[in-house]
């Protein structure tokens, strides 16, 4: 019968398509290897700095920000790891007497998001230092001030005292 002759190959083709679709599902990514790799590269950067090799330290840190970040990592965790790395890169730039590069790295880090946490405060501090090195006093003061506001809030939380107008957690947004 023609219908049945056509139906069976059609069913096989449909099932093959279904299997192909099933196989095309993206594998579930795990953030742990990425975090472990970032941790390893920070340790490597520490070793390179102790060995007097800032270029090697910079390469190790640059690999963290250049790597593909797993999609299932919470946004704030991703931001924290990357902002901390940009802080270190900017500091290496300042040590290398390259405040423009420090400014660029600090800006890249701050572009990832703002929160009242340690990582953002560190980036504001290092950007203030870069502005200061470039002779941009008011911009430096503004960054130092913002960093100090966050620092004051974090200190109040650490010491268990409520800061004025402070939010409840270290990751609270301003």
Q: Binding residues for other proteins, per CB under 8 A?
A: 1-4, 6-8, 10-11, 14-15, 17-18, 21-22, 24-26, 29-32, 34-36, 38-39, 42, 46, 70-77, 80-81, 84, 87-88, 91, 94-95, 117-119, 121-122, 125-126, 128-129, 132, 140, 144-145, 147-148, 151, 154-155, 157-159, 169-171
* Least CB distance to other proteins at residue 48 (A): 14
Strands (DSSP E) along the chain, which ranges?
Answer: none
CA angle, 137 as apex, 131 and 140 as ends, to 5°? 50
Closest CA to 60 of 75, 73, 43, 77: 43
Supply the minimum distance, in Å, between the C-beta of residue 100 and other proteins.
16
CB distance 90 to 123 below 8 Å: yes
With b meaning 16 or more CB within 10 Å and e meaning fewer, what string describes 132-152? Answer: bbeebeebbeebbebbebbbe
Instruction: Provide the minimum distance between the beta carbon of 65 and other proteins in the complex, in angstroms, as a whole number.
Output: 15
Q: Are 48 and 60 in contact (CB under 8 A)?
A: yes
Least Å from the CB of residue 111 to other proteins: 18
């Amino acid at each position: 019968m023609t219908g049945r002759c056509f139906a069976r190959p059609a069913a096989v083709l449909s099932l093959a398509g279904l299997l192909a679709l099933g196989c095309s599902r993206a594998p579930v990514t795990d953030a742990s290897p990425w975090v472990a790799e970032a941790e390893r590269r920070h340790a490597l950067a520490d070793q390179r700095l102790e060995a007097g090799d800032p270029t090697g330290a910079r390469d190790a840190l640059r690999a963290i920000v250049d790597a593909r970040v797993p999609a299932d990592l919470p946004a704030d965790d991703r931001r924290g790891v990357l902002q901390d790395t940009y802080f270190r890169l900017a500091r290496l730039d300042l040590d290398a007497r390259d405040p423009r590069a420090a400014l660029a790295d600090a800006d890249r880090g701050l572009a990832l998001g703002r929160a009242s946490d340690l990582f953002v405060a560190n980036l504001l501090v290092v950007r203030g230092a870069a502005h200061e090195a470039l002779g941009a006093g008011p911009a430096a003061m503004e960054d130092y001030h913002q960093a100090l506001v966050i620092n004051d809030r974090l200190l109040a939380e650490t010491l268990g005292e409520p800061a004025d107008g402070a939010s409840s957690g270290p990751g609270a947004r301003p």
